Amino acid sequence: MDNITNLLAKEKTTKQNRVWVRISAACNNLCVFCLDSDAQDGRLIAQDIVEKEIRDWFKPWYENRVIISGWEASINPKFPQYIAYAKELWYDRVQTVTNGNMFASEKFCTKVFDAGLEEVTFSFHGHTSSLHDYLVSTPWAFKKSLRGLIYIKKYYPEVIINIDIVVNKVNVDFLPDIVKFFMKLWVYEYDILQIIPFWRGFKEHKNTLFYTISEHKDALTETWKLSRVPGMYMWTNRFHVEAFEWFEDLIQDPRKIKSEVLWESKEMFAPFIESNGEVKPECFWERCEYCFLEQYCHGFLNNLKTRKLETSSKDYILEGEYFPSDVFIKYWKSAEDFKSSLKKIKENYKKIINLPKCLWWSGEYTSYNDSNTNQSLEEYTDVYIRDLYRKKSLRCWECTYNDSCEWIHLNFIRSYGFSLLEPIQKKIER
């Protein structure tokens, strides 16, 4: 599958109505990297709350998918009941994300698959017992989960199986081997998740688990190469996008930020945005360098200080686009066609705003202040995703204009690749 086909296929998938429903606040593993450890209190979420969420988030005329999760959903005795309830409401697919321990039981498998479970995402963080069991702090976890996966493959071949892996300093260099191990078991869909700096993982194991992408680029690149294997479907989550040069179709959809700040952490981000940055998130500063939302937060503060840019009818604003398909409709599918489109635009306008200097002309930039101040969390997030989510290549650090350039919108990079950007080197005076 070529890069563009892969990118557009993923775009179609992300347009589904995906409903996440947690049914427990407990887990039967003790993962060292857990980002939710402080929120686990052993509760099972009340049945009326669970069923209301399943019911209320269903959208008629959409393709609806519900992901029933926990912390660990499978330990809730009503797990099969909630699966059946979702199928009664005509959800197109019912999925769960699980550590897999409960699926070692054939009796348990019979219950959940008879109820209508159609997709299982196993969390494996190693390809050996020593590696996986260390990271989940649970003896025999690897063998239990592996037994469940193999059992499903053999007796429920119609069930979709995929694997998510939380990448950290302990397992990053083994990442290609982990994927190859499960490929031998005919698993060809992966969600590769970057560790993020919250709770137990950061508080107790910061030095053990957190790493810099540049120091482990070879292992990551070898993993991304596996995405080119025929039949492979690979997603990534919460990585800094600079990790994906030459593999830009693997960059996470920018709209995923909405689920992070409007759903999972709304109580933390809403006061920050709606107070114009006065009320900082509790994670601010100490964890920022490890967080893929660093630009979202720090860019917000920087944009508050930015002088409003004056534009005229003679200026063309290169706006961001929500989807790569929008980019292709507007500028065609190749980087060369994109550059040709810009040349034609330049013939009719004095300058193009939001265009990096390396794309022929002096770039100027819009900012958060140009649209509105005192925006709500939802409004700023939408503005950020559409216009302010700009990125550059690691190569751009060598550019003469690195400090003044605000780069280019992420969906142009996803569409045309980092190679679109060509750092301008300082002229050496003789």
Each residue's pLDDT expressed in tens, for the chain with a length of 430 residues: 577 888 887 777 777 898 999 999 999 999 999 977 777 788 999 999 999 999 999 999 999 999 999 889 999 999 999 999 999 999 999 999 999 999 999 999 999 999 999 999 999 999 999 999 999 999 999 999 999 999 999 999 999 999 999 999 999 999 999 999 999 999 999 999 999 998 888 989 999 999 999 899 999 999 999 999 999 999 999 999 999 999 999 999 998 898 889 877 888 999 999 998 999 988 888 889 899 999 999 988 887 776 566 778 888 888 889 899 999 999 988 999 998 998 888 888 888 888 888 886 556 666 545 555 678 999 999 989 988 899 989 889 888 888 888 789 999 999 999 999 988 886 544 3
Burial classification of residue 344, based on how many CB atoms lie within 10 Å of its CB (0-12 exposed, 13-18 middle, 19 or more buried): exposed
Question: How is residue 51 written in tokens?
Answer: 């069923």
How high is the pLDDT of residue 364? 65
Residue 137: how many CA atoms within 13 Å on its side-chain side? Answer: 11
Beta-strand relationship, 64-69 and 17-22: parallel
How high is the pLDDT of residue 430? 39
Kindly provide the residue ranges of all beta strands, DSSP E only, lying in 214-348, ordered along the sequence: 233-237, 315-317
How high is the pLDDT of residue 155? 97
Beta-strand relationship, 119-123 and 93-98: parallel
Angle between helices 47-56 and 79-88 (to 10 degrees): 30
CA distance 125 to 174: 10
Helix (H) or strand (E) holding 272: helix 266-274
The secondary structure of 231-262 as a DSSP string is: T-EEEEES--GGGGTT-GGGSPPTTHHHHIII
CA distance 321 to 126: 37
The answer to whether 387 touches 319, Cβ cutoff 8 Å, is yes
The answer to whether 2 touches 10, Cβ cutoff 8 Å, is no
- Beta-bridge mates of residue 64: 17
Cβ neighbours of residue 34 closer than 8 Å, sequence gap 6 or more: 27, 199, 200, 201
Where do the structural domains in the chain lie, given as residue ranges?
3-252, 288-420
**Fold held by 3-252:** TIM Barrel (3.20.20)
CA distance 339 to 352: 12
How high is the pLDDT of residue 398? 87
What DSSP character marks residue 364? Answer: B
Neighbours of 28 (CB within 10 A): 17
CA distance 152 to 139: 22
How high is the pLDDT of residue 307? 57
* 3-state SS assignment for residue 429: coil
